[in-house]
Structure 1
Amino acid sequence: MTAGYIRSMSSAEPASPKPIRPSWTTLLGVLTAFVGLGTVTLHVMGMASHRAYMQFWGIDSGVLPKTTDQVLISGYYALVNQSAMGFLKILANIGLWTVAAVGLAVYLFILQSPWDGGIGSVLNRLAKRPIWVQRLARYVVGALMAAAILPILLVSFVAVMNLPDALGGASGKAHAEREARDFKQGCEKSKQPCVELKKSGESIGTGFVLDGSPDHIAIFDAELQRARVIPREAVELIAGRAPMPLASEAP
């Protein structure tokens, strides 16, 4: 009787829970959300990069609108450039990052210090206090944590929402600054070739192409040292120099 009771009790024990495995529907949903978020991020970065680039030259970006594909490509290059620059900055300040990591490790060690039990000793002492003291301590700690966490969450949310725009703007401005340094070398020494714009056979400007649209073209005039936006109607573009031949084709 006892053996049978023991066997029935052992058979009635709950089975171990099965591991939760995400379904294909869940994975596809997460992937779709990730793609949507990435597309929005690239679009925001592309728009910010284009706006900052045009503002550097003193041109209204609305005069030279971009298609959705161009904006996404611009956002992709902005993301890659800013990621590379951030990695290089980390390498340049590796000492500071090392000191910060060591300081965090020391702080965690003190927080869980073995000589006084760390937080555990505080909780043990608090457990010996009256119920109303424990309740008051929970309320005080909860209020302090809420007062400290809510501003951090708000600032973090605003920072994350503004991050794509800030990164895109920084990338566009850095691109314009690199081109400005190149343009200062003149049409003969610059990496980017100059172009000459002609209308009805007459030259209307010589400089470097900044951007263009179906209706307008923006150049940095080498003579005026200013950016110009010129309607494309009946305007001919002539390259300032011939393309460089390949090494295998050189005489």
Structure 2
Amino acid sequence: MTTPKEPATGTVETSFKPRPTTWPGLLGTLTLLVGAATVIFHLLGLVVHQTYLGAWNISSTPFPKSTDWLLLNGYYGVWSGFAMLLSALLKNFHWIAIGATLLLLYLRLLFSSWNAFNYANEKLSWLQYCPAWLKQIGLWISAGTLVAALLIPLTLVLFLLIGLPARVGKTIGIETFASHFKDAVKGCEASKGSCIQIFKNGEPIGTGYLLDSSSTHLAYYDTQLKRARVIPIHGLEMRAWRSPAAP
């Protein structure tokens, strides 16, 4: 009769067994991130669209956009925003270095052996001789002051987080307008953008740069009037001002 061999002392047999909550938790996190990104992209696309047309003194009402269009342009808006952020960081590198140094010094002081509360106890040791009711009043006043002091940075952080996407979208819209306007004022012959000629019933009614269009209206920058125009799109013919370049 043979007896089963016991495992050697000190050895532990282990096997990887994923916990049941791993995948649901990961999927939940991904769903949350996708939902947040969708909201941010949609908001960015909407703000960029409204700001861009507003800079041309055109209302965005006649040019509604689909959700897919807003999400796609919001995505490109985030990409453009990071490019603008990188450019700003390079231009203000010295201020960033100073700010990072001050932050590191603050963290060093925060995690050092020095304790502000011990220092305060030494300086305020006379409070132990005060009546209990006076200590209670002082405690409530200190607690209220601390809560008020914490609410200020918390409100500031929430304000920045909520308003940041709209602010970024507005900045991107203004920068896009500035770039297009700078190119448009050069004229159809010298600009990089493509001009269009607009005809109705075979008669030319304008030449300029297409800004936006919908099923009902068309917006373009008129190179003769030097301003943007919005006209009904029904019955219009649009022709490219120049022939396509050979590949």
1:27 is aligned to: 26
What are the superposed Cα offsets for residues 49-103 of structure 1, whole Å, 9 maximum, x if unpaired?
0000010111110111111111111111111111111121111111111112222
SS at match of 1:62: coil
SS in 1 for 2:40: helix
Question: Structure 1 residue 60 and structure 2 residue 59: aligned?
Answer: yes
Structure 2 equivalent of residue 122 of structure 1? 119
Q: Which residue of 1 aligns with 2:228?
A: 227
What SS does structure 1 have at the residue aligned with 2:194? coil
Relative to structure 1, the CA distance from residue 24 to residue 109 in structure 2 (aligned partners, 3 Å threshold; closer, same or farther) is closer
**Do the aligned partners of 1:197 and 1:206 also contact (CA within 8 Å) in 2?**
yes
Q: Which amino acid aligns with 2:215?
A: P
Structural mapping, 1:33-52, within 5 Å: 33-52=32-51
Task: State the shift of 1:134 in Å.
Answer: 8.8
Q: CA offsets, 1:100-149, max 9 Å, x none?
A: 222233344455666xx3437437759x8859699788655533321111
CA RMSD between the two structures = 2.7
Please give the per-residue CA displacement for 1:178-223, whole angstroms capped at 9, x wherever unaligned: 0000001100010011110001110011101011112211110011
* Shift in CA distance, 134/32, structure 1 to aligned 2, threshold 3 Å: farther
| Residues 134 and 23 of structure 1, relative CA distance in 2, 3 Å threshold | farther
Kept in 2: contact 1:111–1:119 (CA 8 A): no
Q: Whole-Å Cα distance in 2 between the matches of residues 185 and 77 of structure 1?
A: 26
The 8 Å contact of residues 207 and 222 in structure 1, kept in 2 or not, is answered as yes
In the alignment, which residue of structure 2 is the partner of 1:236? 237
| Letter of the structure 2 residue corresponding to residue 31 of structure 1 | L
Mapping of residues 157-236 of structure 1, within 5 Å: 157-236=158-237
Structure 2 residue ranges without an equivalent (≥5): 1-18
Counterparts of 2:82 and 2:135, CA distance in 1? 48
Contact 1:112/1:119 (8 A) holds in 2: no
Alpha-carbon spacing, 1:111–1:71, altered in 2? closer, same or farther (3 Å): closer
Change in Cα spacing, 1:113 to 1:28, as seen in structure 2 (3 Å) is: closer
* TM-score, length of structure 2 as denominator length: 0.81
1:43–1:75 CA contact under 8 A, matched in 2: yes
Q: Which amino acid aligns with 1:47?
A: L
Work out the CA distance in 2 between the residues paired with 1:137 and 1:25. 49
Q: Runs of 5+ in structure 1 lacking a partner?
A: 1-19, 247-251
Deviation, structure 1 residue 176: 0.8
Call closer, same or farther: CA 1:118–1:35 in 2, change over 3 Å: same
**Alpha-carbon distance in structure 2 between the residues aligned to 1:135 and 1:58:** 61
The answer to whether residue 152 in structure 2 is matched with residue 155 in structure 1 is no
**Counterparts in 2 of 1:162 and 1:187: CA distance versus 1, 3 Å:** same
- In the alignment, what sits opposite 2:7? none
AA in 1 matched with 2:88: K
Counterpart CA distance in 2 for 1:95 and 1:22 is: 46
Give the 3-state SS of the residue equivalent to 1:169 in structure 2: helix
Q: For the Cα contact (< 8 Å) 1:220–1:228, is it kept in 2?
A: yes
Residues 21 and 90 from structure 1, CA distance in 2 versus in 1: closer, same or farther, beyond 3 angstroms? farther
Matched residues, percent identical? 33
Task: Report the 3-state secondary structure (helix = DSSP H, G, I; strand = E; otherwise coil) of the residue aligned with 1:228.
Answer: strand
The match for 1:13 is: none
**Partner SS state of residue 31, structure 1:** helix
Is the partner of 1:65 in helix, strand or coil?
coil
